[in-house]
Structure 1
């Protein structure tokens, strides 16, 4: 579930993405995942590891970068992508904050044999829109709805980082 500290962490990450995406030459992080979010002693979230980040010059890019389980379908498929790819990864991070598990761990356990479903099969299902991250019943509905919107297969259906920031700010001030 989401308490005040988790919503605040998510808010800080959304704020950082909003900043990066709103620069005159917007910057895509391209490897947003929980391991690239550091927390200060006062639980202030800081984005790190900009090793694969890049100025968003030509409006879209096609280089498949990032860490697979957090990667947007359009990046996995080698299609053109933009700042909405970071928003997808943010939705995966929201699920991690809620469930305290790695992305798609629920699907890895649902194999038809005694073996786990391999990551390649998971990634294929994600890329085809057949699998999404989950949220717990205890998750704030506004945060779960935001997370589900962020991981929409169609980038046009994902919110911007600024829209996510607004939703989280509202949740922080009125729901927790």
Structure 2
């Protein structure tokens, strides 16, 4: 990990100018920076004008420690290095995610994502959580939400903001923490910390991806996305949950959405034993969801091949029949069986 000169970061962000501010995490502000070598980075610094500086620094220290414990993964934000100002406040230098957050895409974008893109996002977020839960050491993120899911230049997702994350090897566990709306209501004491807390948060994100509704929206009744969606899922009113800003999904995509909503319902269950592991979620998505997306493509391809071969067979029959008759007899042949064969060809090439 590289140690950056603080003055270089000041220059890179134009003295942490407001116009370079691109986000706010659970424990600091994030700025876009341009280093001397023209490399674009994201620089996170603590909020230093409040009484929470010590608390924020501890979160930055925790984020550094957690990220350093992880090997590189395509679905988790990459820590490039750190720096330190004259007051010993630490700064993080991370890869820049130029396309913003999932929260921005769902709630602030004039062109909402398509259904296939939403499925892709869900799979990538699940794989990020799987990487944390099945790694050594095991990591519990504790703040999985749409604002912490970022997009790189190719619109691939990465999970960010590890200030509240916990390494399971730690002997002391801090008090419950997270974001209202995504926070597991079962997580009320340090002893209740488990991977199921992240699974609950992931379930909320799934509901958010499908509905386009915020996790908590005080302008709606009920305000909680969980309280609103779960009764609808139980009554199989799937269409009412789907984001109304885009066309309703096709038959095959509707089946995909139905499976994802069933997964989400299990994730946010008040009974922790009902909640699946992230590994199980991945298996369900990859086996039941991805195959359903690809199935219509293979069906269309197979149908095209069958039709092509049938047309070729009919054409060969036509040529063979014409060749067996002399020129004077062709007209008579056409008037009988030939007309029937011609109707078969025309029927086959007419689109349904």
TM-score range, shorter chain: 0.7 to 0.9
CA distance in 1, matches of 2:269, 2:114: 21
Q: TM-score, normalised by structure 2?
A: 0.41
Match of 2:266 among 132, 141, 149: 149
> Who is 1:172 aligned against?
290
The 4+ residue runs of structure 1 with deviation greater than 6 A are none
Match of 1:35 among 147, 167, 171: 147
| TM-superposed deviation, 1:156 | 1.4
Q: Which has the higher strand share?
A: 2
Q: Residues 74-125 of structure 1, C-alpha deviation per residue, up to 9 Å, x if partnerless?
A: 12x33612001000000000011011111253x86337xxxxx6xxxx6xxx
Instruction: Structure 2: state its 5+ residue gaps.
Output: 1-112, 243-253, 295-352
| TM-superposed deviation, 1:40 | 2.2
The secondary structure found in structure 1 opposite 2:280 is helix
Aligned length: 158
Larger radius of gyration: 2
CA distance in 1, matches of 2:192, 2:133: 17
> Who is 1:162 aligned against?
279
Match of 1:110 among 221, 225, 234: 221
Whether the aligned pair in 2 keeps the contact of 1:10 and 1:94 (CA below 8 Å) is yes
The secondary structure found in structure 2 opposite 1:63 is coil
Instruction: Structure 1: state its 5+ residue gaps.
Output: 112-116
Larger relative contact order (C-alpha < 8 A, sep ≥ 6)? 1
Alpha-carbon spacing, 1:5–1:24, altered in 2? closer, same or farther (3 Å): same
Q: TM-score, normalised by structure 1?
A: 0.78
